[in-house]
Amino acid sequence: MTEPTLHHIACPAGHTMAYWQWGAPTAAHAVVCVHGLTRQGRDFDALAQQLCAQASAPIRVICPDVAGRGQSGWLADPTLYQIPTYAADMAGLLAHLHAQAPLATLDWVGTSMGGLIGLAVCGAGLPLPAPVRRLVLNDVGPRIEWVSLQRIAQYVGQPLTPGGHFASLQAAADALWTISSSFGPHTPAQWLALSRHMVKPVPASDASDSAALMLHYDPAIGAPFRAMTPEAAQAGEAALWALYDAINAPTLLLRGEHSDLLSPATAQEMSQRGPRARLLEFAGVGHAPTLVMPQQSQVVADFLLAA
């Protein structure tokens, strides 16, 4: 399978959530892959294809577009762009998948924000059709460095060009690289593929050029982010540690060597408490590894597909 199928479900807040499905639609083993703050589910194309190719039994890989991103609907109330909303949506998605074909084995891969959603799904006692068997946290933990929050707040929801439009996919990819170089080395083809689903056509009424593109996400996703204070971040950290400590699933923690979001100290602490995550660092990468490079994706595949 070279392309996933696109599906939608209705969510409690009144929006629809899109998800991309790879592999066998009725497989009892599902891997849910959830993206970062400004990204979308097609970030996991390379990993999903690898998992489907290497699995010894039928598998389905589910890559949702979190609310306000990709093909999912936007929220009427921007203050709801937060982890509790996203976790509730994921619980609904898992129930939907289970109703379509029963889930016996459930794994979770979460990059940055997707990892925080994973903490809530795994640690908050949500009603799940099956417990999360294995958890991959990609460059994120309960303690997020304040300097990283400030860096992200500078660009999330902000236009990358005057007017916020791009003349071509290549122009969009070049602009996205200016805020994403910490992802580490990629070939031009890899970066163009990662950028393809980060943009969508500008509505005809808003553009003089019919080929113009714009970012895929609702700019309002940045509103709760920019309202964050050090005090609120500290309170959130305590709640996230409680979720992390409640996790029983074997956990793989990935860290970019130069990450400014997940500090070495936090990563080490995560390896010593709660599920005692197995820690692996990728050299030459910051926040966050894209899991596109074979040396990154194979580590995840080996962890999830091991007997």
Report whether pLDDT(230) > 60.
Answer: yes
Going by C-alpha positions, the residue among 51, 54, 64, 59 that lies closest to residue 105 is 59
Indicate whether 156 pLDDT > 60: yes
Report, as an integer, the average pLDDT of 142-153.
89
Whole-model pTM: value is 0.96
Q: For residue 276, is it left (φ>0), alpha (ψ between -120 and 50) or beta?
A: left
274-297 pLDDT, tens per residue?
A: 999 999 999 999 999 999 999 999
- Check whether residue 126 and residue 35 sit in a common domain: yes
Please answer whether residues 280 and 252 qualify as being in contact, where contact means their C-beta atoms are separated by less than 8 angstroms: yes
Listed residues 194, 216, 238: the one ending a domain? 216
Total domain count, the chain? 2
Q: What CATH code is carried by the domain that includes residue 260?
A: 3.40.50.1820
Burial of 278 (0-12, 13-18, 19+ CB in 10 A): middle
pLDDT at 27: 98
Say which residues have a Cβ less than 8 Å from residue 80's Cβ, sequence separation at least 6: 13, 67
User: Does 235 share its domain with 115?
Assistant: yes
Q: Strand 213-215 vs strand 199-201: parallel, antiparallel, or unpaired?
A: antiparallel
What whole-number distance in Å separates Cα of residue 229 and Cα of residue 246? 26
**pLDDT of the residue at 209:** 60
CA-wise closest residue to 199 among 9, 39, 33 = 39
38-66, pLDDT tens digit by residue?
999 999 999 999 999 999 999 999 999 99
Mean per-residue pLDDT, 75-88: 95
Residue 162 structural domain: 158-216
Instruction: Say yes or no: 79 and 193 in one domain.
Output: no
Mean pLDDT score, 84-95: 97
pLDDT of 129:
96
Q: What is the pLDDT of residues 293-302, one digit of tens each?
A: 999 999 999 9
